[in-house]
Amino acid sequence: MRDTVRQWIREARRIAVLTGAGISAESGVPTFRDAQTGLWAQFNPQELATEAAFRAHPQRVWDWYAFRREMIAKVAPNAGHLALAAFSKRHPGRLTLITQNVDGLHQRAGSHETIAIHGSILQDQWLDAARPCCDAGALQAGRPPRCPVCGNLRRPAVVWFGESLPAAALDAAEEAANACDLMLVIGTSGVVYPAAGLALAAHQRGARVVVINPEPTELDRVADHCLREPAAQCLPALLEH
């Protein structure tokens, strides 16, 4: 089956790749729920990843994200991340990488044009619309930092529950899904929308869809092939030659 997918990759003019938490888990990044350890085990992650939770308990939510940032800093991109970056370097403009992950591992591997549809845990943004006094270079220190003039808080630049995906990133991802003739769906369960809808859109437009995941997913039903392998093992074999 790998040989068939390799042939499809050689034939494809435009490839879209959608990655999820599975590829990061292979590097040692805890999944969203697995990050609930120690002090954080008492909290439901959905109670920490909302605007309402941040406004009610800003220090608690900020500290949880700081904890997750520390875990991400200890890991490195794996062979799957590196294979995708190397392929893009060898074939400029042929592969568009879309990720649900907020950890920045694709970017650290060298995939600098990654479309991060759920944002980045490594960056911050203003909680409320920035006023003229809001200067990210002159913050009042704290957990979280804030504007020393108006008190506007800094927050992680991720998409929380109940928030819309960044319009520009979603538009770019939809364009890639609609234009591709092959989509690789890697390490995602296929239950989170609108991300999962990208694979459905590609399938509906006639693209081949390949799911790479050790476990069954909700997108297997539209897949032309399912490779039940870890990304770090499978992607180098598919992409490096």
| Residue tagged active-site, from 57, 81, 106, 118 | 118
Write out the two tokens for 30. Answer: 């805890």
Q: Are 19 and 98 in contact (CB under 8 A)?
A: yes
Buried b (16+ CB within 10 A) or exposed e, 30-40: beeeebbeeee
Residue (of 107, 122, 119) closest to 71 by Cα position: 122
Helix axes 195-204, 167-179, angle to 10 degrees: 30
Strand 208-212 relative to strand 182-186: parallel, antiparallel, unpaired?
parallel
DSSP type of residue 129: P
Half-sphere exposure of 38 (CA within 13 A, CB side): 5
CA distance 62 to 139: 15
Q: Residue 7, class by beta-carbon neighbours within 10 Å (0-12 exposed, 13-18 middle, 19+ buried)?
A: exposed
Residue (of 156, 193, 186) closest to 22 by Cα position: 186
Give Cα 105 distance to the centre of its chain.
Answer: 9
Q: Specify whether 118 is catalytic.
A: yes
Cite the active site residues.
118
